Chain A
Amino acid sequence: MELDPRPPRADRERRRFLKALGVGALSLPFSRLLLSSVSDAQAVSSPLRLVVVFNPLGTAFEYWRPQASGSSFTLDFTNSILAPLQKYQNQLIVLDGIDCVPEIKYGDFGHEASPSVLTGDVNKQMAGVRPTVESLDQFLADQPAIGGQTRFRSLELSVGGCKYPERVMSWRAGGVPVPRMLNPYETFQRVFAGYVVPTADAGTVGPDQATIDRAFRQKSVLDYVLADVGRLKRKLGPTELQKLDQHLQSVRDLENGLTAGVLDGGTGSAAPTAGCAPPTAIPDQATWKGLYDEDPNNRIYFDSPTYGSFMFDHVQEWSDLQIQMIAQALACDLTRIVTLQYFEDGVDGGAPWAQPAVPPSDPWYDPHVCTHADTGAPGRSEAMATYQRWFSAQVAKLMDALAAIPEGSGTVLDHTLIFWTNENGEVHDLANIPMVLAGGANALFKMGRWLQYPASGQTPHNELLVSIANAFPGVNINSYGNTATYNWGTGGLPNL
């Protein structure tokens, strides 16, 4: 079975297209773009965006959990992990008591939660078992009305970590991990190189003839590639055919980006928000080449001796760059679905950029050791809190970046849902995983709450995935995860 190719774009684009090319220049491959009757109205309202943020290891609940304050709560107290988010308290839901039930019941052990986060499925690396269903971000990316509307169906970004390419959040169906964009320079090149912000006169001033010619030439190459992939589809089993179908879809997406580029400089949106602009801080190629310098096998080791020091020197800059690019990609409607993974599961080694000013004595230098340790050990919670507060600050920076971009009567943040999750719970387990929803999310969630669920270890995060999915227009599902094999229950998260 083939995945659906992306639908044609809105009429308005097509009119621009005709103006740009002139009817005489229109050749057959483009004619399908004229077939849609989607109305202009769709482009006017601001679409909902999703950004999923993941960071590794455990927490210290005494400092993660908000403190009650009258009828409300506060994040502002000594050692508070969520303190950087205090100013956004009314745009948060602190989810206290959500469990990664698939992993708890059927998984390997405390590591490798990332493949389960968005698939709601079981991952057992030691036994060679991978998630079978696609992750929520990929599910939304595949929807014609969501991922199908933008230049990139989804973007997967990363700060640090690529020792284990299979320890990722995003999965295609059938156990295929979706690789992450690690290198900010390459992120910029892929998303923004050659990108021209559409202007009000884009409908009348089309691209020049050389640009159109170039697009035609490249399109003929991609058409050839599509035909060539198709010719491999002979006597093959379903897994192999699925693999080739995925390849076909990826090339079609490239081609759609190309044809849209002829129209409006690369954006998939007929009317990108007023704040759309390429990032001003352009990652430096030479600096980020350092990522690969020490890697003998094309694999980036967080914990190789030299890579570690590169990491320590650049981690904040790395995070800042990726966040800025996410914000602008959303503002320009280049994508609506983003995942941002910090490091990867079970990361080893210290985090000098996020440890107390006076580091407690060994072994608290290492958040991994902290995670494993007895929660009552002196200094453990404070070291853990310092580590986690760094991620909290990154989420705040993401919100700052989105809130700084005007859109409609508000900002891009008003139209974005951020889902931030830890890898582990308090210790190295998968019960009660710290999770936060943030952003205006098109007013689809009542924000400003601290929701506490029973510490039963049995509140499946699958229910949260259902709730997030159903926030998107046109999506109406009742369960998420490998429900053919396991029973996670149905419906969204209660009280959300």
Chain B
Amino acid sequence: MRGTRYGWAACLLLGACTGRISGSTPSGQPGALLSTRVRLLNNVEYDNTVAALLGDASGPARTFPASDPQSGFSNNATQTVTDLNASAYDGAAQALAQTAVQNLSALLPCSPPPGQEAACAGQFIATFGPRAFRRPLTADDIAGLQGVYDVARSHGGDFTTGIEMVLYAMLSSASFLYVPELGLEGASGSEVELGPYEKASALSYFLLGAPPDDTLIAAAANKGLDTPDQLEAQSRRLLGDPRAHAQALRFFTEWFEIGPSTKDATVYPDYRTLSPSFLKETPALIDDVVFNGDGRLQSLLEASYTFVDGTLNAFYGLAGSLSGSGLTRVSLAGTPRIGILTHGSWLSLHGDATMSSPIKRGVFVRRRLLCEFLPPPPPGLNVTPPQKSEVKTTRQLFDAHVSNPSCSGCHSLIDPVGNGFEAFDGEGGYRNTENGQPIDASGELTQTLDANGSFNGAAELVHRLAQSREVGECFARMLFRFGSAQTSVSTEQELLYEAPTPLPDSYQGLAVMYVRSKLFRRRVLP
């Protein structure tokens, strides 16, 4: 039953695939660099920045409009300030400033006697400004902020109000809200090297989602970010910062599309109980692989262990019994599960409300692990949904529509991959049968560069993917999309062109590879 939804939508979505649909780029050719640009902090970065600057952990961006994603990543360089954002930034800056000046002595480098207040305001601008803007102040900055203070004082404001308005101005300014990638002023020619402070910010927001620390700013001030080796050394230091954990987690959860899902409670009555456990398990494995293990994608895909609480231990049918909501590391040896693609979190989000979804799971592999750009459907294609069935398996329902030639072009690439996960139902539970019929989880990968071949079940599929160089390149491209806050084939071609051999295969290795590259350091001038 319930093939209705997918049979119909999926056909429209994937009407025709002719030839190889991979987005893989030709190797051996240079690609393009990014152009000069200004990138708005996303909401997570905004909150982290405010926390670093003011010690204010209130998280005002929580109620900002949601970040507009690109390629599924919340880092998006095209994000634009519309009226609602402007009003949210303005309101947050006012509130943050108002809170901060309630403890003026913590904020100020001076405690001015009457008559010396203007000098103290100047000192505040000179010391706090560079931290807020993540770079030294220019004469324009100083004059502008001084002007804000002066207007406040000449329009009924006391000293505290003057400081509050200066802080409000800093926090709502473009210099605070944007990460500039403009290069040194006055550059000419076709390309420009980012300035040292621009590099410091780019590096820190990439690896920590937070503003540069004092060490990084000092490196920027002292020619410490000029060479790839220097950038690598700073990157490795930042990857040891506690905040690197949350950032890596954000990358992997956005890449693997981990999050809550909707289930029909009449079909999956226990999903609401399971979901919180799912959403603890996957982050725990990611963190363990990246920070306790080798950081390799292969390790995440092929982990023969996981982290479960009592609920998951029972749901996964693991030996023994656990109680409580704490996580325990357990072996998956001898079970049908292996790695992140057999986690309940991934399987349930890539499943339907009432059944599994070979389509969603197959599409994920092709788009997110092989980096293929699926083509738009042919115009005018319309397909009648299949009638619901109480006797067929999910796979049989989709086999019917794959036999339709207008669907099969793409579905022959997708369904045989997604079918590998058919031993897991819509919420990720293991099953041998469906509607009284045995599960068939055999499938085949086709039209990949180096992962082609048949397999039976998720574990064999996962092994194929984990050993594929094409998947490894996709990992590099995905981390680059996240780090560069944009998606374009031409820049990914440059990334792979510049990549060392062998290609790094860990989170840390690929992060450092990107930071060392021209793509990180240089921009094209328009």
- Residue from the set B38, B74, B172, B192 with the largest chain A CB neighbour count within 10 Å: B38
Closest-CB distance, B255 to chain A (whole angstroms):
13
What residues of chain A lie closer than 8 Å to B436, measured between beta carbons? none
- Give Cα A190–Cα B94 distance, bound, in whole angstroms: 14
A224/B173 in contact, CB under 8 A: yes
Q: State which of A225, A244, A299, A366 has its C-beta within 8 Å of the C-beta of B172.
A: A225
What residues of chain A lie closer than 8 Å to B66, measured between beta carbons? 162, 165, 179, 298-300
Closest-CB distance, A246 to chain B (whole angstroms):
5
Residue ID in chain A nearest B263 by CB atoms: A305
- Residue from the set B68, B147, B377 with the largest chain A CB neighbour count within 10 Å: B68
Selected interface stretch from B78-86, B333-341, B455-463, B504-512? B78-86
Residue ID in chain B nearest A368 by CB atoms: B5
Selected interface stretch from B107-115, B161-169, B495-503? B161-169
B140/A240 in contact, CB under 8 A: no
A156/B84 in contact, CB under 8 A: yes
- Give Cα A446–Cα B501 distance, bound, in whole angstroms: 72
A366/B264 in contact, CB under 8 A: yes
What residues of chain A lie closer than 8 Å to B379, measured between beta carbons? 104-106
CB-CB under 8 A for A231 and B275, given A254-B87, A292-B62, A349-B353: no
Interface presence of A42 (CB below 8 A): no
Interface presence of A297 (CB below 8 A): yes
What residues of chain A lie closer than 8 Å to B43, measured between beta carbons? 298
Closest-CB distance, B82 to chain A (whole angstroms):
5
- Give Cα A297–Cα B66 distance, bound, in whole angstroms: 8
CB-CB under 8 A for A254 and B4, given A236-B38, A296-B259, A297-B74: no
A247/B81 in contact, CB under 8 A: yes
- Give Cα A338–Cα B65 distance, bound, in whole angstroms: 17
What residues of chain B lie closer than 8 Å to A239, measured between beta carbons? 78
- Give Cα A238–Cα B253 distance, bound, in whole angstroms: 33
What residues of chain A lie closer than 8 Å to B85, measured between beta carbons? 179, 250
Residue ID in chain A nearest B275 by CB atoms: A305
Interface presence of A428 (CB below 8 A): yes
Interface presence of B180 (CB below 8 A): yes
What residues of chain A lie closer than 8 Å to B178, measured between beta carbons? 232
A250/B264 in contact, CB under 8 A: no
What residues of chain B lie closer than 8 Å to A472, measured between beta carbons? none
Q: State which of B174, B384, B525 has its C-beta within 8 Å of the C-beta of A232.
A: B174
B182/A127 in contact, CB under 8 A: no
What residues of chain A lie closer than 8 Å to B253, measured between beta carbons? 297
- 1/0 contact trace for A303-338 toward B, CB 8 Å? 111111000000000000000000000000000000
- 1/0 contact trace for A97-116 toward B, CB 8 Å? 00000001111111100000
- 1/0 contact trace for A141-185 toward B, CB 8 Å? 000000000001110100000100110000010011111110100
Interface presence of B526 (CB below 8 A): yes
B5/A372 in contact, CB under 8 A: yes
What residues of chain B lie closer than 8 Å to A374, measured between beta carbons? 4, 384-385, 387
Q: State which of B145, B151, B259 has its C-beta within 8 Å of the C-beta of A301.
A: B259
- Give Cα A308–Cα B84 distance, bound, in whole angstroms: 25
- 1/0 contact trace for A339-351 toward B, CB 8 Å? 0000000001110
What residues of chain B lie closer than 8 Å to A369, measured between beta carbons? 2, 4-5
- Give Cα A366–Cα B91 distance, bound, in whole angstroms: 39
Selected interface stretch from B8-16, B301-309, B417-425? B8-16
Selected interface stretch from A7-15, A208-216, A389-397? A208-216
A247/B377 in contact, CB under 8 A: no
What residues of chain B lie closer than 8 Å to A176, measured between beta carbons? 68, 78, 80, 82
- Give Cα A331–Cα B354 distance, bound, in whole angstroms: 46
A127/B387 in contact, CB under 8 A: no
What residues of chain A lie closer than 8 Å to B4, measured between beta carbons? 363, 369, 372-374
- 1/0 contact trace for A210-240 toward B, CB 8 Å? 1011101110111011011101101111111
Residue ID in chain A nearest B38 by CB atoms: A232
Interface residues in B176-205 (C-beta closer than 8 Å to A) = 178, 180, 182-183, 185, 187, 192
- 1/0 contact trace for B355-389 toward A, CB 8 Å? 00000000000000000011111011010110110
What residues of chain B lie closer than 8 Å to A297, measured between beta carbons? 44, 74, 250, 253-254, 259
Interface presence of A400 (CB below 8 A): no
- Give Cα A349–Cα B261 distance, bound, in whole angstroms: 10
- Residue from the set A108, A190, A209, A372 with the largest chain B CB neighbour count within 10 Å: A372
Interface presence of B156 (CB below 8 A): yes
Interface presence of A76 (CB below 8 A): no
Q: State which of A107, A180, A228, A246 has its C-beta within 8 Å of the C-beta of B173.
A: A228
Interface presence of B213 (CB below 8 A): no
CB-CB under 8 A for A209 and B156, given A228-B173, A236-B182, A368-B5: yes
Query: Can you list 15 A-B pairs, Cβ within 8 angstroms, ordered by A?
Result: A165-B69, A172-B80, A172-B82, A190-B91, A217-B155, A221-B148, A224-B169, A229-B173, A238-B526, A240-B36, A250-B83, A292-B63, A298-B43, A348-B262, A374-B384
Apart from A232-B180, A250-B87, A300-B66, list 7 A-B contacts with CB within 8 A. Answer: A176-B82, A179-B82, A224-B147, A239-B78, A304-B260, A304-B262, A372-B9
Closest 3 CB pairs of A and B: A179-B65, A303-B262, A109-B12
Query: B residues within 8 Å of A by Cβ?
Result: 1-2, 4-5, 8-9, 12-13, 35-38, 43-44, 61-69, 74, 78, 80-87, 90-91, 140-141, 144-145, 147-148, 151-152, 155-157, 161, 165, 168-169, 172-175, 178, 180, 182-183, 185, 187, 192, 250, 253-254, 259-264, 266, 271-272, 275, 279, 353-354, 373-377, 379-380, 382, 384-385, 387-388, 487, 525-526
Query: A residues within 8 Å of B by Cβ?
Result: 104-111, 124, 126-129, 152-154, 156, 162, 165-166, 172, 175-181, 183, 186, 189-190, 209-210, 212-214, 216-218, 220-222, 224-225, 227-229, 231-232, 234-240, 243-244, 246-247, 250-251, 253-254, 292, 294, 296-301, 303-308, 348-350, 362-363, 365-366, 368-369, 372-374, 428-429
